Amino acid sequence: MLYVLLILAVLIAGILILASTKPNTVHYERSTVINATPEKILPHITDFRKWMPWSPWEKVDPNLKRDYAGAASGVGAKYAWEGDKKAGTGTMEILEAGPDGVKIDLRFIKPWKAECIARFQFTLQQHATTVRWTMDGPNSFMGKVFGLFMNMDKLVGKDFEIGLAGLKTAVEKG
């Protein structure tokens, strides 16, 4: 019994030490090409009411409670959501919006607290726009431990890929 406890203590200590070596910040990024100008893409991002057709998280909880405040769209537009364990609770506010992209203050309240910056950056090509979706934020100690067992880039990246595909469809259908 003592050996089992000793092995368990060493294992836990090893996990904690390994987690402490992980970066203090996270960065997730995916991109796609949309056959439209930034001006045609912008309204789908700067008006939170237009996220429902493309955002991967809008469909997670069918009973999701949404609240819109501030400006109707663009800088100052605010969105709050409250959902089940999977959807969580949080807020978003558009800080910057223009032909180069959109900057959003993203705050998760539940199931964990985190303050992140999400960006949609536009790079105009000949007849299309590359849209790069990024999210940067702190990596809490619990996030570091969780990251030892789950590939968070793959997990968040999958949602970004789904969202960008939905955004592409929404914009190109007009």
Assign 3-class secondary structure to 26-56: EEEEEEEEECCCHHHHHHHHHCHHHHCCCCC
pTM: 0.88
3-state secondary structure of 111: coil
The pLDDT tens digits of the residues spanning 71-130 come to 999 999 999 999 998 889 999 999 999 999 999 999 999 988 899 999 999 999 988 999
Torsion angles phi and psi, residue 48, rounded to 5: -60, -25
CATH of domain 2-173: 3.30.530.20
pLDDT above 80: residue 59:
yes
CA distance 47 to 170: 13
